[in-house]
Amino acid sequence: MRAVSSPPTRESITGVILAGGAARRMGGRDKGLTPFAGRPLVEWVIEALAPQVATLLLSANRNIETYAAYGFPVVRDAEAGFQGPLAGVLSAMRKAQTAWILTLPCDGPCPPPDLAERLSRALRGLDADLAVATDGQRLQSVHALLPVSLAESLAAFLAGGERKVERWHAQHRVALADFSDRPGSFVNINSADEAMALEHAFLSRLT
């Protein structure tokens, strides 16, 4: 199925920060609100993403009021039970007022400052349906530029019991955006120990 959307521009993209997971490796703690370098993780992501897009949505299933205090709409998964990132993506597609959404996780404090630009360029270059980042070694599948016109495709995929992001992507024409020059931009935090280990290096980059 081909998506039918005009080419993405900054004004036509809603950034979606995925903070709705169960965070089992964090002991169930809400990862987006986990302190990192003096601020909740989600604040670092908001700061990096906001200049790249027209507006933001926060995908969350807990601590809704805390997330809403950042001043952006908060959207819950339509289905209960932490059904995975695609559930958050679908709810965001249905909420967004733009033709495109750019998704990324809440637990990576230093996303690329040109994430939207490179994903858009890759998508236009291949006349693709969607674009996904790669760090040169592996796909970063939730760092993706997606047209909201694929909402029904995604809904059907989830209704069939599927959850794997890459399997849904494979139903469409995918462009890969090369970030092999910035692999550190995709470091994510899955435990308190990882957070402690990464904080010093992260703060060093800011000084």
CA distance 196 to 180: 25
The proportion of the chain whose per-residue pLDDT surpasses 70, expressed as a percent, equals: 88
pLDDT band of 1, cuts 50, 70, 90: very low
The pair of structure tokens assigned to 122 is: 């890759």
Most confidently modeled range among 17-21, 77-81, 177-181? 177-181
Q: What is the pLDDT of residues 35-45, one digit of tens each?
A: 999 999 999 99
pLDDT band of 23, cuts 50, 70, 90: low
pLDDT of residue 92: 97
Q: Average the pLDDT over 122-131 and give the result.
A: 96
**28-32, 68-72, 194-198, 202-206: the lowest-pLDDT one:** 202-206
Q: What is the pLDDT of residues 53-104, one digit of tens each?
A: 999 999 999 999 999 999 999 999 977 666 789 999 999 999 999 999 999 9
Residue 191's CB is within 10 A of a number of other CB atoms, namely 15
pLDDT of residue 196: 72
**What region, left, alpha or beta, does residue 67 occupy, with left being phi > 0 and alpha being psi -120 to 50 degrees?**
alpha
Verdict on whether the full-model pTM lies above 0.95: no
Could you tell me where the DSSP H helices lie in 1-84? 41-49, 64-68
